[in-house]
Amino acid sequence: MRVLTGIQPSGDLHIGNYFGSIKQMVEAQKTSNTFAFIANYHAMTSVSDGNKLSELTMQCATDFLALGIDPEKSTFWVQSDVKEVLELYWILSSFTPMGLLERAHSYKDKTARGIASNHSLFSYPVLMAADILLFGAEVVPVGKDQIQHVEIARDIATKFNNKYGDILVIPEFRIQEEVQTVPGIDGQKMSKSYANIINIFGEEKKQLKTIKKIVTENVAMEEPKEYKNCNVYNMAKLFLEGDNLKELQDRYKRGGEGHGHFKIYLGEVMWEYFREFREKREYYEKNQNEVREILKIGATKAQNLAMPTIEKIRAATGIKY
């Protein structure tokens, strides 16, 4: 089975990205044919400083490798290294009704938050459809916010196939129920665009400072506390299982501890959880040429895999004459 995901290099990777997408990809490597790429064209919708974008692209690749994307098992590349995706983006645009894009929550959400509306932000889901369809992906693991984009890709692919025959594979999204949406420090969806993130590879002190800003209910120290809707608990539970999780729930119910204590605990479990990944990251940080080489090999592999599909599409649409 072909499983594919992309991530934008638009800022530091955060725990929402990890639990919503990267972790699932790493696990999928054991059983599936996995495709992971850095969506740098997509990141242009929010990063307009050229140096910054190229830096973030390398940073994101380094992080991915540290977090367990294995270039031996996955095809791993940078989006802009396989230009056919832009060709498919244009071809698919002719099968994308305006209304489909006008209904996209992510676009509406971003513009409502004051992000300037331009064509690339609007047509973003079409490029994402091209990413998915070019590689014949059957499954796309995503966080809840991206479900609609995968549905848009399905709609576009169906329209295309109705016209030209069964060329495109209709993809499905996969969502990890318990981590649909990881909350940010303000309780909204954690997102690079909303300045509410806890990043994976931050410095310990800075991380703790951010954790201390997590919005919590105002309840006296001695009182029992509700854990279900608590942002600190909802983050901590991602790192805990079994007895450890039960023990945290009991601490909330028991009372006698403030949210400050739970925040310190969250800092500790998180730091421990990513320890091994941090060590791996240091290695790749020191060996950036190795990262570049991995990306180069990945791009060639991705391009070769895309060729039969794009050739079929060119022939069917009459672009090849």
Contacts to ligand ADP by CB under 6 A: 7-8, 10, 16-17, 20-21, 142-143, 145-146, 179, 181-182, 189-193
Where does this chain touch ligand TRP (CB under 6 A) — which range of 6-14, 93-101, 218-226, 255-263? Answer: 6-14
C-beta nearest to ligand TRP: residue: 6
- Identify the residue among 6, 16, 202, 267 touching ligand TRP (CB under 6 A): 6
- Identify the residue among 131, 179, 211, 232 touching ligand TRP (CB under 6 A): 131
Least separation in angstroms between residue 184's CB and ligand TRP is 15
Nearer to ligand TRP among residue 122 and residue 271 (C-beta): 122
Annotated catalytic sites, by residue?
110, 189, 192
Report whether 161 contacts 309 (CB < 8 A). Answer: no
- Identify the residue among 74, 146, 196, 207 touching ligand TRP (CB under 6 A): 146
3-state secondary structure the chain: CEEEEEECCCCCCEHHHHHHHHHHHHHHCCCCEEEEEECHHHHCCCCCCHHHHHHHHHHHHHHHHHHCCCCCCEEEEEHHHCCHHHHHHHHHHCCCCHHHHHCCHHHHHHHHCCCCCCHHHHHHHHHHHHHHHHCCCCEEECCHHHHHHHHHHHHHHHHHHHHHCCCCCCCEEECCHHHCCCECCCCCECCHHHCCCCECCCCHHHHHHHHHCCCCCCCCCCCCCCCCCCHHHHHHHHHCCHHHHHHHHHHHHHCCCCHHHHHHHHHHHHHHHCHHHHHHHHHHHHCHHHHHHHHHHHHHHHHHHHHHHHHHHHHHHCCCC
**Binding residues for ligand TRP restricted to 260-319, rule: CB under 6 A:** none
Residue 128 contact among ligand ADP, ligand TRP, none, beta carbon within 5 to 8 Å by kind: ligand TRP
Report whether 142 contacts 175 (CB < 8 A). Answer: yes
Where does this chain touch ligand TRP (CB under 6 A) — which range of 2-10, 86-94, 156-164, 201-209? Answer: 2-10
Least separation in angstroms between residue 182's CB and ligand ADP is 4
Report whether 107 contacts 141 (CB < 8 A). Answer: no
- Mention every residue, 6+ apart, whose C-beta is less than 8 A from residue 217: 225, 226, 230, 259
Site string for ligand TRP, 168-207 (x = CB under 6 A): ----------------------------------------
Residue 193 contact among ligand TRP, ligand ADP, none, beta carbon within 5 to 8 Å by kind: ligand ADP
**Binding residues for ligand TRP restricted to 35-94, rule: CB under 6 A:** 39, 42
Least separation in angstroms between residue 62's CB and ligand ADP is 16
Least separation in angstroms between residue 94's CB and ligand ADP is 26
Query: What is the distance between the terminal CA atoms of the chain, rounded to a whole angstrom?
Result: 33
Least separation in angstroms between residue 6's CB and ligand TRP is 3
128 part of the interface to ligand TRP, by CB under 6 A: yes
Least separation in angstroms between residue 47's CB and ligand ADP is 11
24 part of the interface to ligand TRP, by CB under 6 A: no
Q: Which residues bind ligand TRP (CB under 6 A)?
A: 4-8, 39, 42, 128, 131-132, 140, 142, 146, 149
